[in-house]
Amino acid sequence: MFEKFDFMIARHQELTEAIGQPEIIADTEKYQKLLKELAALTPAVDAYNAYQNTLTQIGEAEEMLSMPDMADMAEDELKRLAAQKEAEENELKLLLIPRDPDDDRNVVMEIRQGAGGDEAALFGALLLRMYGRYAERHRLQLEPVSYNMTELGGVKEAVFNIKGKGAFSRLKFESGVHRVQRVPSTESSGRIHTSTCTVAVLPEAEDVEINI
């Protein structure tokens, strides 16, 4: 099931040796490309090495079962290692899922007022604050591009960039229609209003050199 990790380990070793070569270091573009590939492989290689270590420990614990004075301890250890092995296998399966090539890109986001009038615009402002706090918490940088606000501080339309490692991977599933149901502060009869906003999330386009 995990044969692909043997290739990853071999490639990881190859890259580790390559980035130490003077001719590679001298080629900045190639050096950065290899460093990026190495960084992408490292979590999978570390996880697989940890899994192999767990298998080794299981083998050692099974050998201890034949020792009368160690059998009880070995059984407890095997129970712990079995749970650890299962968790590590699940992690490895996730690491085998093909990675989105856009995951590390910066993000261009747009929040647009939907159905619900002023209440929808206020909901849009809430979403904007939420994404700002999320970016701050995950050490990402939010950069405003253009905001069209209402007199009440709501958002008719807001376009902004979120920059940082893994920005698109964290935010790409936010794209779509967001809905809230609540009683507005201006609603005297206590009636629940439904408001919507649309959120668009796009990976930032790469710079392309054009020769004219």
pTM over 0.75: no
Q: Please tell me the distance from the alpha carbon of residue 43 to that of residue 193, in angstroms, as a whole number.
A: 46
- Name the 3-class secondary structure at 201: strand
Please report the pLDDT score of residue 205 as a whole number.
Answer: 81
Fill in the DSSP letter of residue 173: G
- Sheet-wide strand order for 155-163: 141-149, 155-163, 107-113, 193-203, 176-182
pLDDT band at 83 (very low <50, low <70, confident <90, very high): very high
Mean pLDDT for all residues in the chain: 90
Mean pLDDT of all residues in 63-87: 90
Please report the pLDDT score of residue 30 as a whole number.
Answer: 92
Provide the token pair at 12: 């990881």
Residues in the chain: 212
Strand partners, 177: 198
Strand partners, 110: 159, 200
Q: Please tell me the distance from the alpha carbon of residue 112 to that of residue 157, in angstroms, as a whole number.
A: 4
Tokens 């990790």 -> residue: 5
